[in-house]
Amino acid sequence: MLHLVGTITATTHVHQTDPNKEGNLSRTIKTYAWGKDQIRRQIPFITGNSIRGMLRRAATELTLDAVNVPISRPMFSVLTTGKTTRKDIGMVPSTRSMIEAGNNVFAGLFGGGGYMIPSRYSMGPLVPMVEWCQDWLHPSLREKMIPMDKLTYKVNDVTRDVPLVTELILTSRDDLLAGKGANRIEDYQSSVDAWIAEVTAGRVAKATDKAEKLEAKKRGDKPVAGPTKAISVDVSGYNLIEAMLPGTPLQFWMRLKPSANDAQVGLMLMAVRDWANANVIGGASARGFGRFEAQFALYDDDREIVPSLFNMGDHATAYTLSKDVDNYLAAAKAALATVTIGDLDNAFGTGAAGADHV
């Protein structure tokens, strides 16, 4: 079995939103884990599923560039997300579809569709390479992990953990309230007076709503489900966001199943390259979060066969694939050169319309 293993080193803060938001604070997702010191801790991570989605979309672009014809909406959806609609999931495939899906360079690798084709790779979460997480790490990465003595500090003889996350403040401001726009806005005085009145009313309503909720909590009243009474229109404000620190090393570990053929392995390596060049993990990328530097090696079981997937160079500019994987790339390019919409329709069961494109 082939393993793509390496380190994602954060070059900016990294955040993936926890669905349980606390007021103005957006926490990053975490899980509990037992450390080698038998202490249970919360560990931040980036879900493997989010990386799978980005790799699938990168491979979709490569496939559509090769096909180079317009496609249907259902086909676009199944390529990018793995499904057209939820109601089609669970269709019974024909023998022809099963064979074509397995052989198809894209469908056989990423799977999905109404037939729920199994994918030929698995992807774990990106976890911090710290000694607390030693048991999660690939053996080749354990010597690079942050050791236990760097993960704790003492205050008055009390040992405390070094936090793996920090909180940042994100602010926005309303230029109208800063006095700008006088020479740009029609009916400036009346329109801005009306806007100030609306903003002020919203702030008062929101403050009143908050005070009522606090009083109800003191009385022990149960919160009533339903829409918030007051919604502010104010565009000025701030939010706190929790994120992993720049410099945090994260493990990347992908397993390519033995059933993956050389063309499918090659397409995955090309998708990994394009994702590395897009250079995004987690959320808030528009604010500069989620940038990274990647260093990967390819293993055949426990034997390293490609010491560095990427050519050495300025990775801040571009990642290019090593000549050591040229055999996989050649197989992928040959397969992409012959793939058709009809092939993909037959593999995913998205309809007979693809036959017109064969």
Task: Kindly write down the DSSP assignment for every residue of 60-79, as one continuous string.
Answer: HHHHHHHH-S---HHHHHHH
Q: What is the Cα–Cα distance from 10 to 19, expressed in whole angstroms?
A: 22
> In this predicted structure, what is the pLDDT of residue 357?
35
Q: What is the Cα–Cα distance from 108 to 165, expressed in whole angstroms?
A: 38
> In this predicted structure, what is the pLDDT of residue 337?
95
Question: What φ, ψ does residue 298 adopt, rounded to 5°?
Answer: -110, 130
* Token representation of residue 106: 């894209």
Q: Return the closest-CA partner of residue 10 out of 277, 268, 242, 282.
A: 282
Report the relative pairing of strands 303-306 and 292-300 from DSSP bridges: antiparallel
- Contact yes or no for 321/306 (Cβ under 8 A): no
Q: What is the Cα–Cα distance from 342 to 64, expressed in whole angstroms?
A: 13
Please report the DSSP string for 283-350 in residue order.
S-GGGT---EEEEEEEEETTEEEES-SBPSS-TTT---B-GGGHHHHHHHHHHHHH--HHHHHHHHT-
Q: Can you tell me whether residue 47 is helix, strand or coil?
A: coil
> In this predicted structure, what is the pLDDT of residue 194?
87
What amino acid occupies position 9? Answer: T
> In this predicted structure, what is the pLDDT of residue 175?
80
> In this predicted structure, what is the pLDDT of residue 109?
94
SS3 content of the chain, % helix, strand, coil (to 5): 40, 25, 35
Q: Can you tell me whether residue 146 is helix, strand or coil?
A: strand
Q: What is the Cα–Cα distance from 46 to 250, expressed in whole angstroms?
A: 9
Q: What is the Cα–Cα distance from 37 to 35, expressed in whole angstroms?
A: 5
Torsion of CA 309, 132, 247, 292, to 10 degrees: 40
Which residues of the chain have a pLDDT value below 50?
352-358
* Token representation of residue 268: 């995955």
* Token representation of residue 103: 């052989």
Please report the DSSP string for 211-249 in residue order.
HHHHHHHHHTPPPPPS--S-------EEEEEEEEPTT-E
- Contact yes or no for 321/273 (Cβ under 8 A): yes
DSSP category for residue 182: T
* Token representation of residue 123: 């992807």
